[in-house]
Amino acid sequence: MAAAMPGAVRARLQLRARLYALIREFFAARAVLEVETPMLSAAANTDPNIESFHTDFSGHIDAGARARWLRSSPEYPLKRLLAAGSGDCYELGRVFRNGEAGARHNPEFTLLEWYRIAWDQRRLADEVIELVQAALALVGRGARIEVLSYAELFARELGLDAHRASDAELRVALGDCQVDPAGLTRDDWLDLLLGHRIQPRLPADQITVLHDYPASQCALARVLPGDPPLAARFEVYLGSQELANGYHELNDAAEQRRRFAADNRTRLARGLAELPVDERLLAALDALPDCAGVALGVDRLLMALAGCASIAEVLAVPFNQA
């Protein structure tokens, strides 16, 4: 006989259902279309810091490529829909990242991703704040808001110029955090400082919006010219928890191809497999309308709403019991 479900577990399942309903109401009121896109793709995410699940299709070859990857995000097919004329759209669904398990990571998790045509990253960040505030209201909470640049945060918390400090200065600022420096790039050091020295200090009752990232961390965002050049990118934190990552989206296929190639060079240098790029995305990208997009981790938002320290507490069935 199965054990009875504890009341706290049932309450968290109900909270998830209420959050999903709120998300759908939020976007319906703004005329943003809900869509579904494939979980399996013939192309992979080339990001060297993400490991995708891989499988092989066993059916007739006419159905498509045999090698398939479980999506780590719905970003590529959503952009293809936007390029084809879908208008503003969002997807609420499961995504997968191999090798990621811990208090804040589960190999299978729920992501909310949406795109707004003719918006930039600053306007979209404001909408993310609106959604997070609405979610907090489900549990009778609110949060103050702080918006600042990546450089301002590093200067305030660590006394560092994030754009010009040497790698040696970044390593010293990391203090007694034990890491193997072999093969680490400047962006790796910056990520370690943000994750280990800065994020834990962010106030628990605050939504923090961080913008103007180094251009080297642009991923699929546009680069803003200047000295230094900056990525048109933002992240949103609730307390010390990273919730969302958004861009003013790049719509230059040639530049995106160069970035995919750079990813694969980094992968090979790390002893990782070179991965096929999404040619269908690249074929559509020049037709992508001017837009901003963001991905928000729903399980992490639920953790904050429910006061949970581990992602397993907000899952109906944790990964180690699946």
Residue 104, domain member (yes or no): yes
Contact 128, 298 (CB under 8 A): no
Contact 238, 143 (CB under 8 A): yes
Distance (Å, whole) CA 190 – CA 163: 10
Domain assignment of residue 231, given as a range: 7-143+205-321
Residue 248, domain member (yes or no): yes
H or E stretch at 70: strand 67-70
Residue 125, domain member (yes or no): yes
Cα distances from 226 to residues 58, 223, 231, in angstroms, run: 50, 9, 11
Prediction pTM value: 0.94
Residue 177, domain member (yes or no): no
Residue 251, domain member (yes or no): yes
Tell me the angle at which helices 7-28 and 121-137 cross, rounded to the nearest 10 degrees. 140
Kindly report the CATH number assigned to the domain that includes residue 215.
3.30.930.10
Q: What is the pLDDT along the chain (322 residues), one digit of tens a residue?
A: 466 677 788 999 999 999 999 999 999 999 999 999 999 999 999 999 899 999 998 877 766 668 899 999 999 999 999 999 999 999 999 999 998 888 888 999 999 999 999 999 999 999 999 999 999 999 999 999 999 999 999 999 999 999 999 988 998 998 887 777 777 889 999 999 999 999 999 999 999 999 999 999 999 999 999 999 999 999 999 999 999 999 999 999 999 999 999 999 999 998 999 999 999 999 999 999 999 999 999 999 999 999 999 999 999 998 888 8
Residue 168, domain member (yes or no): no
Residue 88, domain member (yes or no): yes
Residue 194, domain member (yes or no): no
The pair of structure tokens assigned to 85 is: 């004329």
Contact 95, 51 (CB under 8 A): no
User: Exposed, middle or buried by CB within 10 Å (0-12, 13-18, 19+), for 303?
Assistant: buried
User: How much is the pLDDT for 103?
Assistant: 83
Number of domains in the chain: 1
User: How much is the pLDDT for 60?
Assistant: 72
